[in-house]
Chain A
Amino acid sequence: MSLDSARARWEKTTLAASLAKVPERKARFTTSSGIEVRRVYTPADVAGAEYSSDLGWPGEPPFTRGVQPTMYRSRTWTMRQYAGYATAQETNARYRYLLGHGQTGLSVAFDLPTQIGYDSDHPLARGEVGKVGVAVSSLDDAETLFGGIPLGGVSTSMTINATAAVLLGMYAAVARGQGVRTEDLQGTVQNDILKEYVARGTYIYPPRASMRVVTDIFAFCRERMPRFNPISISGYHIREAGATAVQEVAFTLANGIAYVSAALAAGLSVDDFAGRLSFFFNSHSNFLEEIAKFRAARRLWARIMRERFNAAKPESAMLRFHTQTAGCTLTAQQPENNVVRVAFQALAAVLGGTQSLHTNSRDEALALPTEESVRIALRTQQLVAHETGVADTVDPLAGSYCVEAMTDEIERRAREYIDKIDGMGGAVAAIEAGYMQAEIADSAYRHQREVESRERVIVGVNDFKVSEKPPRRLLRVKPEVERRQLRQLASFRRKRDEGAVAAALSGVKKAASGEENVVFPIVEAVEARATLGEISDALRDVFGEYEAR
């Protein structure tokens, strides 16, 4: 009997009898992306797939099954908790705490003034110093931040975009101070400015000037810090802003295409830089869709790099990514439930083949996490790695009719979006026209409507509610922190050679006005003890500032 007729028989007999007694919960089941979830998947749903070209082998294009041949059998993913608050002193203590509890990489959260190029003493920094991350205005701050942490032996990810060149310069200077060669430094600088215009908001300069700084950083890293990832092309924040899983993949890869095109236009050759591109995704709540999303993103990127950009080296087509569990799914209600949400999301990321992972803490819908909350979040990863057994085989869900069908569908829908964006002139033009922003806002609003109509159940928020007392023991960043940071910055300024600072800043302006790589003079300015705000101002003078539409 053929599969079709076998299915018809089952539907007419067993299924029909069951539906007559127990109807299904909904007329239609859908994922976040509106993909219809079928009742049951069969070989017919993956009939078009060709194993060698659509799945292939781990560590080989199209990397659907993972970027390393052995995946977590050799080494588990890097457990990397994003952390930073108050001043460099407090954050340094948090890093030592995390490393002491088995974390295997650092991830720096900077406060908003640092991200937007304002020193802590700038009027617009008031109230924001040390709030969402650590305040770093000066080289002294950077030295304190990494004090006692041997930078030759740890990989560090820095969530920094508009001011990435400055922080990269500071990191290199601290490392040299420890006697570590910059060539040996490992880590990632986010340096993904496009998603700042789309979703995250820490831009400074207009898009085209910013794109030039991005590609200057590629060239700088290639020369001075070849083991550092010069960009982390990020879907995380796009998803947090309300995008669906398909939009997350599509807009992230569209931005990736824009960076590759910009680097090629700047004279770099694809196999010289593409292997160092890295990515950053969100792990949201729909477990199967998320696993499929990671696999689809990997395969689609490999195809884009080979077909569109003629990448020859396999590494150039390899989508390596960091994952963070979805902050926007955390609830202020019954916050202990967040531990469970995060565990499922972490498991999806691992089943999706992530290279590193941040697990959110239970209290983050209300405040920065306490030490205890962060420890539970880190333990969640250690549980997945050492107790569940999912790390013992490569890509365990490959071959699941459902996961493979969803992987195909996400890739197909993401491609449609990318074609549309190509038609608009690429990601930069689409962002300038507000296209991605509007698509994301529509999805966010639809999600909210679904939650309010209870079409989508959020446990503890629109169903299964209890009356509860507000949580105690939240982490607070006290106002004294801002005052202490201002004193430290004033003392830094008093102790430096103002002539050297002025000369270095004019070097930055000169490079920015011309064609030469702007990162080298920025690094020199950092070493001459110019502050982050001063360097950013020098660039503002030349590039101007971006005004959102």
Chain B
Amino acid sequence: MKKTRRVIRVLIAKPGLDGHDRGAKVVARALRDAGMEVVYTGIRQTPDAVASAAVQEGVDFVGLSCLSGAHGHLFPEVVRLLRSRGAREVIVFGGGIIPESDIPALKKAGIRKVFPPGSSTEDIVLWIRQAWEGSEAGKA
């Protein structure tokens, strides 16, 4: 029998000025329904506030949502601030109105996975579980 493992903790965040949070809320709820512990920041957070919340809540994942087209600036900024606060293990992923051609640059900046429009919450849950299995915290 497998030993009981700790629950996966996720911060869902809306960095920047964009107020479209239908997707962020739906994903947060789906992850909760899948048994994860989820904190949602609410809209209009600075990258700094997102990074602080992630460190304070001790999350394993940060999911970023942006529909305003500012992802190219905001997502890498969140990763940079997380790392500068010593949160090296936290896995960052994102979604929103993000054209495929922007994804390579985001990946290079440390955003592990980008979910384009039309992604299912089931795929997001699966991906998080797999990434968790492969992570140090997940193996512990």
**Hey, which bits of chain A sit against chain B, CB under 8 A?**
112-113, 115-116, 118, 124-128, 131-132, 196, 199-202, 240-242, 328, 331-333, 365-368, 441, 444-445, 448, 451-452, 458, 461-462, 470-471, 474, 477, 548
Contact = CB atoms under 8 A, between A and B. Distances in A.
Specify which of A126, A128, A131, A461 lies most central, judged by the most chain B CB atoms within 10 Å of its CB: A131
A470 to B, nearest CB: 4
B26 interface: yes
A202 B19 contact: yes
A444 B25 contact: yes
A112 B68 contact: yes
Contacts of B30: 445, 448
Given A241-B22, A452-B122, A474-B99, A128 B68 contact: yes
B18 A331 contact: no
Contacts of B25: 441, 444-445
A132 B74 CA distance: 15
Contacts of A199: 19
A425 B122 CA distance: 39
Given A201-B18, A241-B22, A131 B69 contact: yes
Interface string B28-42: 011000000000001
B73 A328 contact: no
B74 A127 contact: yes
B100 interface: yes
Contacts, number: 97
Given A128-B68, A332-B118, A448-B26, A367 B99 contact: yes
A242 B42 CA distance: 17
A435 B74 CA distance: 31
B72 interface: yes
B70 interface: yes
A452 B118 contact: no
A118 B16 CA distance: 13
Nearest to B75: A127
A367 B19 CA distance: 17
Contacts of A241: 20-22
Of B29, B97, B121, most A-chain CB atoms within 10 Å: B97
A366 B117 contact: yes
17 contacts: A112-B18, A113-B17, A124-B17, A201-B18, A201-B21, A328-B22, A332-B118, A366-B97, A366-B98, A367-B97, A445-B25, A445-B30, A448-B30, A474-B99, A548-B42, A548-B43, A548-B44
Contacts of A112: 16-18, 68, 70
A201 B66 CA distance: 13
B120 interface: yes
B58 interface: no
Interface residues of B, number: 32
B56 interface: no
Q: Chain B: interface secondary structure?
A: loop
B117 A332 contact: yes
Nearest to A115: B17
A201 B68 contact: no
Given A131-B68, A445-B29, A548-B43, A333 B118 contact: yes
A128 B17 contact: yes
Contacts of B21: 201, 241
Contact of A127 (B16, B43, B44): B16
Nearest to A240: B22
Contacts of B69: 131-132, 367-368, 477
Nearest to A201: B19
Interface string B50-81: 00000000000000000011101110000000
A444 B30 CA distance: 12
B63 to A, nearest CB: 15
Given A127-B74, A448-B30, A331 B22 contact: no
Name the residue in A124, A445, A461, A474 with the highest tally of chain B Cβ atoms < 10 Å from its Cβ.
A445
Contacts of A367: 69, 97, 99
Contacts of B118: 331-333, 365, 458, 461
Contact of A366 (B18, B99, B121): B99
9 shortest interchain CB distances as A-B pairs: A201-B19, A127-B73, A112-B17, A470-B100, A127-B70, A131-B69, A332-B117, A128-B70, A461-B118
A127 B26 contact: no
B101 interface: yes
B132 to A, nearest CB: 21
Contacts of A240: 20, 22
A445 to B, nearest CB: 5
Contact of B19 (A125, A131, A200, A452): A200
B116 to A, nearest CB: 6
A115 B22 CA distance: 20
Instruction: Give the one of B72, B74, B99 with max A CB within 10 A.
Output: B99
B43 A201 contact: yes
Contacts of A200: 19-20
A235 to B, nearest CB: 15
Contacts of B72: 127
Given A240-B22, A328-B22, A132 B68 contact: yes
Given A127-B74, A132-B69, A366-B98, 4 more contacts: A125-B17, A127-B16, A202-B19, A366-B97
Given A112-B17, A112-B18, A202-B19, A124 B121 contact: no
Contacts of A333: 118
A8 B73 CA distance: 66
Contacts of A448: 26, 30, 121
A202 B16 CA distance: 12
Contacts of B22: 240-242, 328, 441, 444
A432 to B, nearest CB: 15
B12 to A, nearest CB: 13
